[in-house]
Amino acid sequence: MGKKIRVAILEDHPSVVDGYRYRLEPATDIEIVEVLTYGEELAPFFAQAKPIDVLLLDVNVPTSATNRNPYPIHQMVPKLRSLYPGLQILVISMYKQRSVIKAVMQSGASGYILKDDRQSLAELGSVIRTVAGGGVYFSKEAHEQIADKEVDGTLLSPRQLEVISLYAAYPDSTSAEIGKMMGLADATVRNLLSAAYLKLGVRGRTAAIARAKELGILASVDVYPKPPPQS
């Protein structure tokens, strides 16, 4: 058996955690290694834990047992991504506001699932595999909240175009491999890809490539001729 995807959870409702455990029980390649209740538990846990691949968390978890205010997710997410470049963060929340979703994604999250999105939660194992591999995942409604209504290929930055182009050339590459080709960190590649999704009005890598081809913008991007480096 190959290496398991190590998952940690930050969630203060035991019934929600039980639901995650139930959904992930059949996934023999995914291991829940820790469940945390408060935001202030994250830093000390990551400091002493073996590498974690995916962190599932909610937006509204209390900071501590004595401080019931929501922990500072917009500070914590980029901090964790900076300290642990291999970590992917998947937010699962009831909050549907455009401003919240957009801010969370811009801070460095790898995806945003709504707690009433039964389909995505039923496929939680597949979603975790997607983000663990450097992909981005949205609930349909969450994506609609922040997707640009007017799609224009010229709005993509040169770096966003480059990312899409490289994924079109090397569709099986991870974000870390693409990052090595571009001279960028894994997290930066993921952020570029997420921003491109929003601007193209799509939810996944394959759809982004197809949409870019429809807009006629892939041909204008230089693709590296060398294959992605081996890990």
Phi, psi values for residue 150, rounded to 5°: -105, 115
Q: What is the CATH number that goes with domain 153-220? A: 1.10.10.10
Question: Residues with Cβ < 8 Å from 151, sequence gap 6 or more?
Answer: 199, 200, 201, 211, 215
| pLDDT tens string 155-185 | 677 788 778 878 887 788 888 888 888 888 8
Q: What is the CATH number that goes with domain 5-146? A: 3.40.50.2300
Cα separation, 222 vs 210, whole angstroms = 17
Sign of CA dihedral 138, 142, 144, 147: negative
Of the listed ranges 11-25, 119-133, 206-220, the one predicted with least confidence: 206-220
Q: What is the pLDDT of residue 208?
A: 86
Cα separation, 93 vs 74, whole angstroms = 14
Side chain identity, residue 145: Q
Is there a contact between 160 and 189 (Cβ–Cβ < 8 Å)? no
Delimit the domains of the chain by residue range: 5-146, 153-220
Is there a contact between 32 and 24 (Cβ–Cβ < 8 Å)? yes
Cα separation, 138 vs 157, whole angstroms = 22
